[in-house]
A and B are shown apart, each in its own frame.
Chain A
Amino acid sequence: MTTPPRIEPEGAPAFSVAEAELAGLAGRLAHRAEEESLLEVAYRIVDSPVGRLLLAATERGLVRVAFEREGFDGVLSGLAEKIGPRVLHAPWKLDGIVAELDEYFAGRRREFGVPLDFALSHGFRLSVQRRLPDIRYGRTMSYRQVAELLDRPAAVRAVGTACATNPLPVVVPCHRVLRSDGTLGGYLGGVEAKATLLDLEHGAAAA
């Protein structure tokens, strides 16, 4: 079996297809997918003060916020496996959260109002993540305090895991949870990103 000699753009630039044309076609496709209820996960990538963020939503709400260091292709593959493989770039489906994030990073928003879909979380992790928004803007808690808040004082490490696996960082504020000694602790987006968010909130809350 021989592979046919393929006329690729590099072999015959005459047949090149412009990026912008393909983006236009893919956009139209995503709209038709939505009309036919064939869109399981819509995603969009935006710039932010903590680097590029991938935002993904289902019909139920925002399901994933990912930092670039997590690897966007891997994140999309995970969404395909855990939610459904009909994952499409459909930026307009994320307009609501993009507007809220813009306000948040400008220091003009203290809590998020878009619907959230916790489909990626289960069990104790889910109960931790659901309680995190109770830590008010500009405040922080230790992993131990969060465990106590949930009446599971011995579950400090499990709280740490729940924060580390938060599928909705920034929006569900796991960055407000610190080590008992006051040091930052880990963060999905990197310790620098965690510090950036805390500084932002501290500054805006004091203003």
Chain B
Amino acid sequence: MMQPFDLAVRTHGATVLRVCRAVLGPGPDADDAWQETFLAALRAWPELEAVTNLEAWLVRVAGRKAVDVLRARGRNPVPVEELPDRPVAAASEADGHGALWTAVAALPERQRLAIAYHYLGGLRHTETAELIGGTPEAVRRAAADGLKALRGSYSGMTEWTD
């Protein structure tokens, strides 16, 4: 990749952050996953081929980094239920959408990942299925069920469509 790395951060930084937040909830863990994603990209940068669909590449890396953090949480006794009480609120209250991220955090993991990769990261269900296992159809259902659950739990979701 010969384009300035800074351009990739400016262009794709927000998408990568949304994916990390959907998987981990907004807060230090999502920020760390974002850092690890772009550091990995920075290390690989000169060797990355220019034809790479950069955003899809970054979203896949971000998903893997975020899931690593999830697994680490699973090993360490940091209950996911505590998420909403974490410093999280500081970041999300600033834009007034803490409740949405809290609702996303409360979804079952597969629904959360399907929403993160597909709706926020722009990957196709087939690509998401390769990343999180299962069939594309199962992933599509997980994403749809996740959206339905969000509509039930979060009042600001009216503008969403599948």
Contact bitstring A89-106, B, C-beta under 8 A = 1, else 0? 100000000000000000
**B100–A5 touching, CB < 8 Å:** no
Q: Smallest distance from the beta carbon of B33 to chain A beta carbons, Å?
A: 11
Contact A73 B7 (CB under 8 A): yes
Query: Which of B97-121 touch A at CB < 8 Å?
Result: 97, 100, 118-120
B1 — nearest CB in chain A belongs to which residue? A85
Contact B97 A88 (CB under 8 A): no
Determine chain B's interface SS by DSSP, over half rule: helix
Q: How many A residues, CB 8 Å from partner?
A: 40
- For A17, the closest partner residue in chain B by CB is B14
Known: A17-B95, A29-B39, A38-B42. 17 other contacts (CB 8 A): A1-B124, A3-B124, A4-B124, A12-B157, A15-B120, A17-B17, A25-B13, A25-B17, A28-B31, A33-B42, A38-B39, A81-B2, A85-B1, A85-B3, A85-B45, A86-B45, A89-B9
Which residues of B does A touch, CB under 8 Å?
Answer: 1-7, 9-10, 13-14, 17-18, 31, 34-35, 38-39, 42-43, 45-46, 91, 94-95, 97, 100, 118-120, 122-125, 154, 156-157, 159-162
What are the 10 A-B residue pairs with the smallest beta carbon separation, nearest first? A87-B4, A80-B4, A17-B14, A76-B4, A14-B100, A7-B119, A22-B13, A14-B97, A6-B122, A87-B6
